[in-house]
Structure 1
């Protein structure tokens, strides 16, 4: 996912979460717990993407190599 899109979604979620608190739908304690969980979720996503990037590069490198050539078969003369 693109970093800008992820950050925009994260910002919207946090804005809605704090609006729910201000309107009295959620307690301060619940908002803190959910905000921490949401933050950890995004940190985990960033970590997973960092791990996947080198793997994807290796796959691309392997795709660029030429496929093995078939073995040459010697022909024999028939009488």
Structure 2
């Protein structure tokens, strides 16, 4: 996986569901960040913040449109977001 080329490199194509996979990965990292905060693991939560920012930047780079609501659990209203 680490040796996979980006889709902006000449002659490469990523799987059709890359956008969905990036969004799913972002949701997982957000969940892990919130869990880390709940148990008082501040440094891991900070590292996960960095990971979320990197994933969102990657999605922007690829032109993927998204809102905060796209990353909320179905039962959690968007206004209760913990993302800052």
Q: TM-score range by the shorter chain?
A: 0.3 to 0.5
Higher-RCO chain (CA-CA 8 Å, sequence separation at least 6): 2
Q: TM-score, normalised by structure 1?
A: 0.41
Q: TM-score, normalised by structure 2?
A: 0.39
The structure that has the greater radius of gyration is 1
| Structure with the bigger percentage of helix | 1
